[in-house]
Amino acid sequence: MKRNLSGTNVGAWLRGLAVATTLILMPFASHAADVTVYAAASLKDALDTLGKDWQTKTGKTFVASYAASSTLARQIENKAPADVFISADLDWMNWLADRKLIKPESRFNLLGNALVLITQAGNATQIHIAPGFPLAQLVANSRLASGDPAHVPAGIYAQAALEKLGVWAAVEPRLARADSVRSALALVSRGEALFGIVYATDAMADKGVRVVDTFPADSHPPIIYPAALTATTTSADAASFLEWLKSADAQAVFARFGFTPAPASAG
């Protein structure tokens, strides 16, 4: 299910997100570091670890800012001091590329992930994800937490999967639309939503939740994390940091946090 961010989808995104408010409430990361990375919220644990490793190896300083890819892309458009952008989907990287806000020659697909249905750790409910599965009945009067499908990649993948499985129309009225995948995870962990749809890596990061089942890979577009240098970076170290993320050592850290290699067939 291809999502294009032009035309009506941009209109839906603008209606679903108070852009100016988000940009005011979420200040730009400091540019005092040698490398400043703007990365999808689902990358936080892995990139924090890698940033410390890189600082130890090189003596250079690293700062990261995490949020929904849509929010970060808009911040970069508004001249945020990012050197590297790592998105949770291709569309928001393409959105920046169309505006000539990344260095196209530096772009590559870094990682993959899986989409899972979660509930609180103490909830023993068992569900097998399949066409027509009774998710709406199980959610009942509670909520299903997800990134907002209007702009958050995890939510866009979730909507695609639920549509493919034929349950979106029944579930949509109970959707708790979070501003990032980590916010959706927190809603389930705190018991404010009975179920949630997040990445497999997010479920691993929170002991307050458990995975009920994994969505079939063919129920949604491949989950791909593209990475690139921003067009405005002046960092002398950003290119080498980005290249280091491809290394065996860095990829082993990503794997430890549950990420997979980017699909080989991805464009």
Q: What value does the mean pLDDT take over residues 72-100? A: 97
Residues 55 and 101 in one domain: yes
Residue 24 lies in a domain: yes
Confidence of residue 11 (pLDDT cuts 50, 70, 90): very low
Q: Is residue 62 domain-shared with residue 126, that is, in the same domain?
A: no
Higher pLDDT, 264 or 74: 74
- Would you say 188 and 195 are in contact if contact means Cβ atoms under 8 Å apart? yes
What does the pLDDT look like over 154-213, one tens digit per residue? Answer: 999 999 999 999 999 999 999 999 999 999 999 999 999 999 999 999 999 999 999 999
1: in domain: no
Q: Which of 143, 152, 117, 148 is nearest to 42 (CA)?
A: 152
If asked whether residues 44 and 95 sit together in one domain, one would say yes
Domain that holds residue 196: 115-219
DSSP string, 174-200: GEEEESSHHHHHHHHHTTSSSEEEEEH
Banded model confidence at residue 224, pLDDT cuts 50, 70, 90: very high
- 27-46 confidence digits (pLDDT tens): 444 457 899 999 999 999 99
Nearest to 144 by CA among 120, 172, 116, 166: 172
pLDDT of residue 263: 84
Give the pLDDT confidence of 249-261 residue by residue, as tens digits: 999 999 999 999 9
Q: What is the structure's pLDDT at 264?
A: 73
Look over the chain and give the mean of its residue pLDDT values, rounded to a whole number: 89
pLDDT at 5 exceeding the cut of 70: no
| Two structure tokens written together for 170 | 């029944």
Give me the pLDDT at residue 29, please.
Answer: 46
* pLDDT at position 105: 98
Q: How far is CA 83 from CA 87, 120, 159, in A?
A: 13, 37, 31
- In this prediction, residue 32 carries a pLDDT of 72
Model confidence pLDDT, tens digit, residues 44-77? 999 999 999 999 999 999 999 999 999 999 999 9
Whether 48 maps to a domain, the answer reads yes
The structure's pTM equals 0.84
pLDDT value of position 253: 97
**Which run of H or of E encompasses 261?**
strand 260-261
267 within some domain: no
What is the CATH classification number for the domain harbouring 36?
Answer: 3.40.190.10
Total domains in the chain come to 2
Same domain, 13 and 107: yes
Q: How confident is the model at residue 266 (pLDDT cuts 50, 70, 90)?
A: low
